[in-house]
Amino acid sequence: MKKITLDKQLETYNIYIFKLNYITILFLSIASIICSFGLLLNKKDYILASSIIYVIINPIIAISFLLTTNNFSKLQSVIEQGLLILFITLVISFIIGYLTAYFNYITEPTEQMLLRSNLKKKVFSIDFFIAIIAGFGIYYAIMESNIITILGFIIVFTLLPPITNAGLHYGMYFNDNPEMKDNENYLNYANNSIILFIRLILK
């Protein structure tokens, strides 16, 4: 089978990667809402399901292609798109977190929420192995021009929950509902989730 050149595959992906349209924003919003309620309801299956349709993988694939081919002309626009996706995710989860505290939907963070704001997790956690395998895999996939989408989903599984968790905790913190337990720690939980997200990106 003839291998598709990297430049040709990059040209093909340009159709999908560099445009953030209303459809991708819709999927982004749905994913953020489902993940938020998955964390609030302590439902791991909701979290995994939301990760499948999260669109942050588009700029990640684009950045990987651009760096691999030393093509930096569109790198800034792709990074801006990724930051916009993260901003929208934070805004949606912030609103949900704020309303959660306002209506007392939950009175304290769930196990899934605390898990994704814990910086003292074991070094060799499942998330760690997924990130490492995906990191090597995405490099191999780019070199061989294959299995990009599958490896992309593996990365996405680890990225959506912490950034959504951060937005939820920020929202609950700024609501400042005295009936919420452990309210004074919500800001730390949110910041820890951001740090975990950055760690996963760097891996």
User: Whole-model pTM above 0.85?
Assistant: no
| pLDDT number for residue 14 | 47
Using CA atoms, how far apart are residues 153 and 175, in angstroms rounded to an integer?
34
Element (H, E) at 157: helix 148-175
pLDDT, residue 74, reads 75
Segment 25-37 shows an average pLDDT of 91
Q: Is the pLDDT of residue 20 over 50?
A: yes
Q: What is the pLDDT of residue 63?
A: 75
- Tens of pLDDT, residue by residue over 49-67, are 787 676 666 677 677 777 7
Contact (CB, 8 A) for 112 and 42 = yes
What mean pLDDT do residues 11-39 have? 77
Looking up tokens 């899934």, which residue turns up? 112
pLDDT in tens, 97-118: 999 999 988 888 999 999 888 8
Q: How far is CA 113 from CA 83, 101, 106, 166, 170, in A?
A: 23, 14, 12, 9, 12
Rounded distance between C-alpha atoms, residue 200 and residue 121, angstroms:
13
Give the model's confidence band at 10: pLDDT under 50 very low, under 70 low, under 90 confident, else very high: low
Helix (H, G, I), strand (E, B) or coil at 121: coil
pLDDT mean over 128-142? 57
Is it the case that residue 192 has pLDDT exceeding 80? yes
pLDDT for residue 201: 75
Helices and strands, number each (H, E), in the chain: 9, 0
pLDDT in tens, 160-189: 899 999 999 999 999 988 888 888 899 999
Share of the chain above pLDDT 70, in %: 67
Q: pLDDT band for position 2 (50/70/90)?
A: very low
Q: How confident is the model at residue 123 (pLDDT cuts 50, 70, 90)?
A: very low
What pLDDT does residue 62 have? Answer: 73
Indicate whether 15 pLDDT > 50. no
**How do the domains of the chain map onto residue ranges?**
6-202
